[in-house]
Structure 1
Amino acid sequence: MMKLFEDDYSIKANRLKFYRTKAWRMKRKEILERDGYECVHCKANGEFTIYEQREDGRKLLEIDHIKEIETHPHLKLDSNNLQTLCIRCHNKKHDRFQSKKNEWYMNDERW
């Protein structure tokens, strides 16, 4: 029964556990090499974002699951479901950390 919960990638702890495995580290390296250590979205738009590790240990490029691991766990190590993205493109894809404009000043009721 415990194995059932370990395969449930809707649980963040299980995803984090998977991302620490040797199989993931090896697949990550393979995808970085395949994509030439470049963000595929930036490259498609004529931009250039390459692999770099910052002083704080964070990496500029990430490996993205095209079909999310939460909904398609059987594709978690499928090379055709993985792509190299820079942090900016990865966050944009998942609509994370996008600044929301404060439009309070545009409300007619305020005046």
Structure 2
Amino acid sequence: MTLGGGGNGKKALPFYNSPSWRKTRKAVLARDHYLCQICLKRGVLEPAVIVHHIDHLKERPDKALDEDNLQSVCAVCHNRLHPEKGKQQEELKQRKARVIQARANPEII
């Protein structure tokens, strides 16, 4: 089973689909009462939907299932923790051509 995250996360997919990860993820969400731990520190109650590796999976695969290395976070906080993932989407947006339809002014024709 490959644990490394690679740049696109596809290499880590088998790990995130494994029964051991699913069990650990469920335990961490329950431990954190399904609340984003980052928002909670600011006094905000926000549901957690992601379990985040504090020490990144590709850098520390030995801590992949270590509950002390995992925290429940909301999608917004997870995106802040991983700004590099948003860059891929920005690059795609920049590549798209913007099409503008031009029409002749009927008053001049």
Note if contact 2:2-2:15 (Cα within 8 Å) is conserved in structure 1: no
Selected match of 1:76 from 50, 56, 64: 64
Partner of 2:94: none
Using the alignment, how far apart are the partners of 2:33 and 2:45 within structure 1? 11
Partner of 1:40: 37
Partner of 2:75: 87
Note if contact 2:2-2:14 (Cα within 8 Å) is conserved in structure 1: no
Following superposition, the deviation at residue 8 of structure 1 comes to 5.4
| Root-mean-square deviation over aligned CA pairs | 1.9
Following superposition, the deviation at residue 35 of structure 1 comes to 0.4
1:13 has 2:1 as partner: no
Following superposition, the deviation at residue 97 of structure 1 comes to 3.6
- The structure that has the greater radius of gyration is 2
AA partner of residue 41 (structure 1):
I
Any idea what the Cα deviations from partners look like across 1:39-69, whole Å, max 9, x if unmatched?
0000000111125xxxxxxxxx100000000
AA partner of residue 9 (structure 1):
G
Note if contact 2:3-2:15 (Cα within 8 Å) is conserved in structure 1: no
Following superposition, the deviation at residue 94 of structure 1 comes to 1.1
Where do 5+ consecutive residues of structure 1 fail to align?
1-5, 52-60, 101-111
Instruction: State the identity as a percent.
Output: 32
Using the alignment, how far apart are the partners of 1:8 and 1:79 within structure 2? 16
- 3-state SS, counterpart of residue 49 of structure 1: coil
Using the alignment, how far apart are the partners of 2:13 and 2:81 within structure 1? 20
Where do 5+ consecutive residues of structure 2 fail to align?
91-109
Partner of 1:65: 53
Compute the TM-score of the two structures, normalised by the length of structure 1. Answer: 0.69
Compute the TM-score of the two structures, normalised by the length of structure 2. Answer: 0.70
